[in-house]
Structure 1
């Protein structure tokens, strides 16, 4: 019996009541594809015997085939590879259920060119070849909403005024507001314990009905991203069991703060030392090279940080959503912040991505940028002191089509992510744009009818 089968066997013995498993394949749009597999068949999944159409890893936002890609390639099967390290109970399900994350290999057994977990692994291998190990932590913002929408289809807040209207603000860091949500928050904490997700803090965010949960740092970037997608699924599932809706949509409300996903990252050498630490608050030349690489690649990677039409509504002045590649020490108006901390904890906080983005692709883009800076010894501009919105011109793609075009023509994306991923992801976003172009909004009718 190989190690994976033994790990599975131990898990099954420890969870004798589990009846069915969700075998989950993260697709490029951030959705979860897969099947429900009976307990007595889960060993076949771990053995790599589960096949799914190759298109399963690259559906559009509505779960449809990418027609331009499928028509040319014929949509053959790929083999799914379960990661037994992600085996976990699903405590919010009514019946005893387990889950496991998978990657997709090509029919010949090679790593899937469109599998986000394999794309990230490829970048991590390039770090390892330099004797470096990234250490990551994610911060995830989300809204908790009522189960029903209003008469116009808009979501309803869980925080409201005395007559049921929207509050002006959401009591940032408000402990009384957290106490109002205590049953749900404790249920989330308990579920995280069951799934071994290392929660650091739970926070009330600035907008009404908005919250944030942070995970502890992890010296395995792939595991950190797996934990991030598991956390999102957990929050949605637990909220549903409490008759609420959790959303990671970038901008659910036009006049309120959006949902971001901030990523903290440092890098260790083979001796376990932080290569950004020089004993001072300034950090090492390697810190500045990594920052420079992030800034140099940021515009090309915008589509990964902001993958949807709604993503671009989040970027507004004064909202802590950056508009330009810039950096600074202890400055929340920049896109790459170096937080104040002990020198041994010197790190980058990448502040651009929305919570609607794919964690594996976001981290792959950040690490690829850092690697690019290290490989070419790039130098960043001076750090921004004060309000970056007033000092740095807006250069990041402002709208979705602009980001798609930048992504399509990027040599950086082709080098670090692969030409096939670049092509198919572009086709996916073009198909989604065409769908949105078919629909006329109520505001257009109000304006022009």
Structure 2
């Protein structure tokens, strides 16, 4: 396999325009969603664009802490063999936070014979996109991510502290507050400048439903893969921009018990073969195909929950009256449900998936969501009536599986799902489940401070 001529030309043109850049990060994203990679010199990057780069297979399934997962049977048994990595076209961009000589590009994994690697999240997503393409549909995707800004230094108790506003520690919510945006204007200006430099389609900003919490909008694209590339690059940019202002940004699902969690809201519509929105309708509930897609989302929510809520902390986010959903419900112009059809013109009709946490891998989250939509559309499923009013008080739908209430049940359900294996790949589902079970063992192998507070004396 050799890189497309256009990709090589892209790299040559980039360095012709930026001859001083000589510290370039090659970034890949494994199944846990953590950007990892190498820092290369300019001549090395040109070589990667021409002939790829070899990296060990173990990095594709390293756990959230970066440790090997021997239980996969793919580490010592394979000699930790190499895979072949290739640059993702269109992702070679400057990294302003790294100084005038810094840049980055994304990479994807392939087998040595050139086949797409089945453990690479980008390739998992591509497989689902191909299924939709085969039935004449092109997904249009936008990724919305919530995050907290924190003080760079933790408190005396060792815990993170919400970023101060004009030197004052705040705990009030002030949702959609303009003063809160003004207080973080230097950070936001840096963030927007970085997004423009990297071609990330960053739009409006709001102060969210907690002190120090923000959400910025990434413009939707009729290219689900590129929308996820944008989200991955955006998360890195947010963290780097915060660091430049002696702050820390976190996409952790539930950093504070008494404050709102961080969600990753996924907005999706479908273009038909004529390029028109297949979900468009004068009916606020959308065209019949949109209802079928929502039915698929309901049907596969439990099976795919280990993707949408991948970590132990993820499950702290799901509480009633928190703007995080607690059941597989859908509705129109209703933020108390899992799947919302937003208000808007008939041509803009789409669905917002609200169950996913900001800690999820965007490639895998979108892959699982699109798989569910394909399942509903091809099976012509019925979502049942839309929820009106308070979705947190809606009676349980006997036709829908409840959302898993904890990390263990979610991973068990995912591991056993024939449909997840069909859509995401059998080996991927098996390896992802092994990695998460190993994380569970490691996580619960630690003794937290609360154990001593609750059990040291009584026991």
TM-score (norm 1): 0.97
2:138 to 128, 133, 136: 133
> Displacement, 1:72?
4.1
Q: Secondary structure at the match of 2:152?
A: strand
Count the aligned residue pairs.
447
Residues 234-291 of structure 1 show CA distances to partners (whole Å, capped at 9, x for unaligned) of: 0001111111100000011011000001011000011111111133323111010000
Determine if the alignment matches structure 1 residue 303 to structure 2 residue 306: yes
| In 2, Cα distance between equivalents of 1:282 and 1:403 | 30
Equivalent of residue 319 in structure 2, options 311, 316, 321 = 316
Q: Report the Cα distance in structure 2 between the residues aligned to 1:361 and 1:194, rounded to whole angstroms.
A: 26
Q: How far apart, in 1, do the equivalents of 2:422 and 2:281 lie? A: 31
CA distance in 1, matches of 2:318, 2:77: 36
Of 199, 210, 226, which aligns to 2:229? 226
| Matched residue SS, 2:153 | strand
Alignment of 1:41-80 (within 5 A): 41-69=44-72, 70-80=75-85
Q: Counterparts of 1:379 and 1:304 in 2: how far apart (Å)?
A: 24
Is structure 2 residue 345 aligned with structure 1 residue 338?
Answer: no
Q: Return the offset for 1:170.
A: 2.4
Per the alignment, residue 17 of structure 2 pairs with 14
Q: Is the 8 A contact 1:159 1:170 kept in 2?
A: no
Q: Distance in 2 between matches of 1:199 and 1:327?
A: 28
Partner residue of 1:255? 258
Residue 389 to residue 130, structure 1, CA distance change in 2 (3 Å): same
1:113 aligned to 2:115? no
Deviations 1:114-159 (A, max 9, x none): 0000111111111111111110111110000001111222101114
The match for 2:97 among 79, 92, 106 is 92
Distance 1:235 1:86 in 2: 17
Q: Following the alignment from structure 2 to structure 1, what is the Cα–Cα distance between the partners of residues 46 and 416? A: 43
**Alpha-carbon distance in 2 for matches of 1:199, 1:161:** 25
* RMSD over equivalenced CA pairs, Å: 1.4
Relative distance call for 1:8 and 1:122 in structure 2 (3 A) is same
- SS of equivalent residue, structure 2 residue 303: coil
The question of 1:438 aligning with 2:441 is answered no
| Aligned mates of 1:160, 1:448 — CA distance in 2 | 38
Q: TM-score, normalised by structure 2?
A: 0.95
Counterpart for residue 415 of structure 1: 422
Pairing 1:293–2:300 present: no
Q: Which residue of 1 aligns with 2:283?
A: 280
Deviation >6 Å, runs of 4+: none
| Map 1:136-147 → 2, pairs under 5 A | 136-147=141-152
The separation in 2 between residues aligned to 1:201 and 1:182, in whole angstroms, is 13
Partner secondary structure for residue 156 of structure 1: coil
**Once the 2 structures are TM-superposed, how far is the Cα of residue 13 of structure 1 from its aligned partner?**
1.2
Distance 1:314 1:15, change over 3 A: same
Q: CA separation in 2, counterparts of 1:159 and 1:357?
A: 27
Superposed CA offset, 1:42-83 (max 9, x none): 111112430000111111011011111124443211000101
> Residues 411 and 240 (structure 1 numbering): CA distance in 2 closer, same or farther, change over 3 Å?
same
* Structure 1 residue matching 2:97: 3-state secondary structure: coil
Q: How big is the shift at 1:166? A: 4.9
Contact map agreement 1:200 1:216 (CA 8 A) in 2: yes
Range moving further from structure 2, 300-309 or 4-13: 4-13
Query: Alignment partner for residue 28 of structure 1, among 24, 27, 31?
Result: 31
Distance apart, 1:25 and its partner CA: 0.6
- Tell me, yes or no, if structure 1 residue 387 matches structure 2 residue 390: yes
Counterparts of 1:174-213 in structure 2, within 5 Å, are 174-213=177-216
Stretches of structure 2 that go unaligned for 5 or more consecutive residues are none
Structure 1 gap segments, 5+ residues each? none
